[in-house]
Chain A
Amino acid sequence: MSLATTLLHKKAAPWWLSGPALVLFTVLLLVPLALTAVLSFNAFDPATGVKAGEFTLEHYTHVFTDSYYHTIFWRTFWIAGLVTLICVLIGAPEAYILSRMGNPWRSILLLVVLAPLLVSVVVRAFGWSMLLGPEGLVNGALQLIGIGPVKMLYTEIAVVIALVHVMLPFMVIPVWTSLQKLDPGVENAALSLQATPFTTLRRIVLPQVLPGILSGSLIVFGLAASSFAIPGLLGGRRLKMVATVVYDEYLHELNWPLGAAIALTLLVANLVVMLSYNRLVEGRYKKALG
C-alpha cells in the first residue's frame, strides 16, 4: 500500500481530525516540558548564565538539602493541606444544604457560590487584601467585639482565607454532582425507620458523596500547592510559597536551571501526594463498603 492510500484510509481519519490540536500540544506542551527537564540539569554560572553542554545534579541537591527550600516546600504543603481540609468542612455541608433547598433559591445561591470561579484571581486577591488589611472591614468588625487589630495581611492567615475562597467552588462542584445521584427515597427510608438525622447523614449521605469529596480534595490540593497570585499578593515579600520562589528565581535571580528544578520538584511532589492520597482513601473506601 502506498503512503497516499494509507493516509486516505479510514483509520487515519481520527488522526487527521485531531492532528492540528496534536501539533499544538506537541510543540507547546510536550517539547517545552522536555526542554525544561533538560534545563533543570544544566550547569549555571551567575556570570555567564546557562551552560548548555554541562550537566549537573547540583540544582536538585540544592533544593533537597538547603533548609531554605525545605521551609518553603513544607509551608506550601501545609497551607495546601489546611486549605483542602477547610474546603471539605465548608464545601461539603454547603453543597448538601444547597441541594436541599427549593428553587429558585437553590439555583441562585449555587450560582453565587460558583460564579466567583470566573472572576480573575487577581481581583479576588485584591478584594481580600482590602478586607484583611489593618484598617479593613474584618479588623473593624473584630474591634467592635473587643479584639484588637489582628495582623492578617502578609501572613499565612490571609493566604489561607483567600485560597479557601478561590478553591471552594472546586469542592462544591464534585460534591454537588454526587449529591444529584443520591436517591432521596433512601434518605427518607432511613428516617422513617427511626434513624436520627445525624445517623442518616453519616450512614446514608456521607458514603455516597465521599467520591465527590475525594476528587474535590485532589483538585483543591493540587491547585492550592501551585497557586501563585494569592501568595504573591497576600503573602508579601517575606512569606514565600513554591510558585513565588520559582518566579523570583526566573525573573530576579535569573537562575533558570534552579527555577526549573524547583518547578519540576513541585510537579512531581504534587503528583506523588495526589496519587498516594487517592490510593489511601480509595483503599479505605473499598474496605468500608466490604
Chain B
Amino acid sequence: MQKNGPLALAFNALVITFMLAPLLVVCIVAFTPHNTLTLPTTEFSLRWFKAVFAHSDFVQSFWNSLWLALASATLATVLAVPAGIAITRYEFAGRGFLNGLFLSPLIIPHLVLGVALLRLFALLGGTGSFGWLVFAHALIVTPYTLRLVVAALVGFDRSAEHAALSLGASQATVFTRITLPMILPGVTGGWLLAFINSFDEVTMSIFVTSPSTVTLPVRMYMYATESIDPLMAAVSALMVALTACAMVILDRVYGLDRVLVGRK
C-alpha cells in the first residue's frame, strides 16, 4: 500500500477539522456562563442546560419527537420485514416496482413529501394529528429499515430453515425461531437508523405538525429563525449527545461502518 504524502495528510486534517468544527463549537458554547453566544474560556456553567429543562416548549417537543420516532421506527420495521421477505425470496411481476416504490422516499425531496402530505391531511381534516404524523414518518424511514432487512436476507443460509421444515415445524415457528433471530441484527440496525432519521427530520415535519405536535427539530428551527442565544446551543448539544448514544448502540448491534458504507 502506498503511503500518504505530507500534503495529503494536511488536506485530511483540514477536512476533519471542517467536519467537526460546527459540532464542537455548539457543544462548547452550550457551557457558556454568559447571556450571549461566546466561547467559554475560564468558567463553565450548566445554566443553559437547566434553562432547557425549564423551557416547557422544548421539553414538550422532545417528548413528541421521542414518541414519534419510537412509533414510526417500529411501524416501519413491522412493514419492512415482510416486504423485505417478499422482495428477496419471491420472483413476481411487480417486484421491481415495489422495490422502487419502497425506496423512493430517499429520492423524492422531503419538501415535496411535506407539501403533498399537508394536502392529504387537510382534505381528511387531520392536519397535525399525532397519528398521521406517525404514518408520515414511517413512510420516510421505511427505506432505511428495508435496506438493512434486505441486506440481511440476501446473505442468508436457508439450510436451517429447510431442516426445521422437514422436521415438521410450522411456517410460523420457522419464522419466529429461525428466520427472525438470524436477521435480527439487520432488523434492529434498521430500527435504530429509522429512529435516528425520524428524530432528526425537519423539512417534511415543518409542514405537517401542529402547535401541539411540533417535533424538536421543528421547534429548534422556528426558535433559531427568531432568536439566537445559548439556549439553542444547549438544546443542540443535547441532540448531539443523544445522537452519539444512538450511534454507539447502533455500532454495538449492527456496526456503524456497515450502516454507513455498507461494508460487511
Contact = CB atoms under 8 A, between A and B. Distances in A.
Size range of the chain A interface in the assembly: 35 or more
A101 B9 CA distance: 10
Size range of the chain B interface in the assembly: 35 or more
A128 B110 contact: no
A13 B196 CA distance: 32
A233 B117 CA distance: 23
Interface in B46-98: 78-80, 82-83, 85-87, 89-90, 92, 94-95, 98
Interface string B14-27: 01101111110110
Contacts of A195: none
Q: Is chain B's interface secondary structure helix, strand, loop, or mixed overall?
A: helix
Contacts of B1: 100, 102, 184
Give the interface centre of A15, A120, A225 by most chain B CB atoms within 10 Å.
A120
Contacts of B94: 15
A165 B22 contact: yes
A16 B86 CA distance: 9
A270 to B, nearest CB: 7
Nearest to B236: A123
Interface in B243-260: 243, 246-247, 256-257, 260
Contacts of B90: 13-14, 17
Given A14-B87, A111-B260, A247-B111, 9 more contacts: A20-B82, A39-B119, A100-B4, A110-B261, A120-B239, A123-B23, A162-B22, A176-B261, A250-B207
8 contacts: A25-B139, A36-B116, A93-B11, A98-B12, A101-B4, A118-B196, A123-B23, A191-B2
Interface of B: 1-4, 8-9, 11-12, 15-16, 18-23, 25-26, 29, 37, 39, 78-80, 82-83, 85-87, 89-90, 92, 94-95, 98, 101-102, 104-105, 107-113, 115-120, 123, 135-136, 138-139, 142, 196, 199-200, 202-203, 206-207, 217, 220-221, 224-225, 228, 232-233, 236, 239-240, 243, 246-247, 256-257, 260-263
